[in-house]
A and B are shown apart, each in its own frame.
Chain A
Amino acid sequence: MKIGIMVSEGPYNHQASDSAYLFARTAIEKGHSVPRVFFYHDGVNNSTKLTQPPQDDRNVVNRWSKLAEEHGVDLVVCIAAGMRRGITDDILAPGFRISGLGQLVEAGIQCDRLVTFGD
């Protein structure tokens, strides 16, 4: 099954990004495909390479980058939501790209399921 994902909350403050990541990783392990994760609302804050969590904690941003590298997951950050929050191309972690909301709608059209993680 092709599963699209939307993440609506930032890292660490909220579990949404963790849950979305664990769901995506498990879905891929089980043989499904996750072609795209779309980051919206405060979810755009998952994409910045400036993040420096304590060493004994998980690195939410790097985990997404690794998933993109290993499984070709397209990590898309909403441009409008990103601009409001100071997310620009200069600070994107590997695997992320900035694009429009059309990418979210497209994932909804193309995927068998669109799963949202947020409040």
Chain B
Amino acid sequence: MSDMMDDMDEGGEGVVKKFMFVNRKAPHGTIYALEGLEVVLVSAAFDQDVSLVFVDDGVYELIKGVNTKGIEVKDFSKTYRALEGYDVEKLYVEKSSMDARGLTEEDLIVDVTVLDSTEMANLMAEQDVVISY
């Protein structure tokens, strides 16, 4: 075991990094969105500075009126509304991704900050850890 592993065993208590989770995929069709939410909740439990970004088909993760009965999978869209309870309050959506899909903020189940591509790039550049799926 290296010194690094000894450090890791201590769990990095007290260190707060900027974690960004980049949601790029539709909520259903693949498992990325669902499993991705699990990491978000764990990182919040580690008291990290968490941001969520929704781009490309990822914006569909936040739309209202989801009904998954027909495809027989769990509807986890309510989890996004519960994020506030985990102190995950920084949600960003890319404007051009919404525009391309004919969506506006009115179509979303949570309050978000809408950014253009340049603002999004700047926000990403500020992060310590970016996890994308």
Contact = CB atoms under 8 A, between A and B. Distances in A.
Given A33-B2, A33-B4, A116-B132, A80 B12 contact: no
B39 A104 contact: yes
Nearest to B25: A119
A96 to B, nearest CB: 15
Nearest to B128: A108
Contact of B48 (A40, A41, A105): A105
Decide if the interface of chain B is mainly helix, strand, loop or mixed: mixed
Given A2-B4, A80-B38, A109 B17 contact: yes
Interface in A63-90: 72, 74, 80-81
Nearest to B39: A101
Contacts of B17: 108-109
B100 interface: no
Interface residues on B, range: 20 to 34
B17 to A, nearest CB: 6
A81 B31 CA distance: 10
Given A40-B35, A41-B35, A110 B4 contact: yes
Nearest to A113: B129
B19 interface: yes
Given A80-B38, A101-B38, A110 B7 contact: yes
Nearest to A104: B39
A107 B131 contact: no
Contact of A105 (B1, B4, B19): B19
A27 interface: no
B80 interface: no
A41 B42 CA distance: 15
B19 A108 contact: yes
B15 interface: yes
Interface of A: 2, 6, 8, 33, 35-36, 40-41, 72, 74, 80-81, 100-102, 104-110, 114, 116, 118-119
Given A41-B32, A41-B35, 10 more contacts: A33-B4, A35-B4, A41-B31, A102-B11, A106-B11, A108-B17, A108-B43, A109-B15, A114-B129, A118-B133
